[in-house]
Amino acid sequence: MFTTASDYLQFGQMLANGGELEGKRVLGRRTIEMMGSIHIPDTLPGRKPGEGYGLTVRVISDFGAAGTALSNGSFGWSGAFGTHFWVDPKEKIVAVLMTQGGSIELTGDFETAVMQAVID
Write the DSSP assignment of 48-90 as a string of letters: PTTEEE-SSSEEES-HHHHT-SSPTT-EEEE-TTSEEEEEETT
- Listed by start position, the domains of the chain span 5-116
Higher-pLDDT residue of 104 and 47 is 47
Q: What confidence tens digit (pLDDT) does each residue in 12-70 have?
A: 999 999 999 999 999 999 999 999 999 999 999 888 999 999 999 999 999 999 999 99
pLDDT band at 103 (very low <50, low <70, confident <90, very high): confident
Mean pLDDT of 96-119: 86
* Residues 32 and 15 sit within 8 Å (Cβ to Cβ): yes
CATH superfamily of 5-116: DD-peptidase/beta-lactamase superfamily (3.40.710.10)
pLDDT score at 21: 96
Angle at 33 between CA 108 and CA 103, to 5 degrees: 15
Query: Residue 81: is its pLDDT beyond 90?
Result: no
What is the distance between the alpha carbons of residues 71 and 79, in angstroms, rounded to a whole number? 21
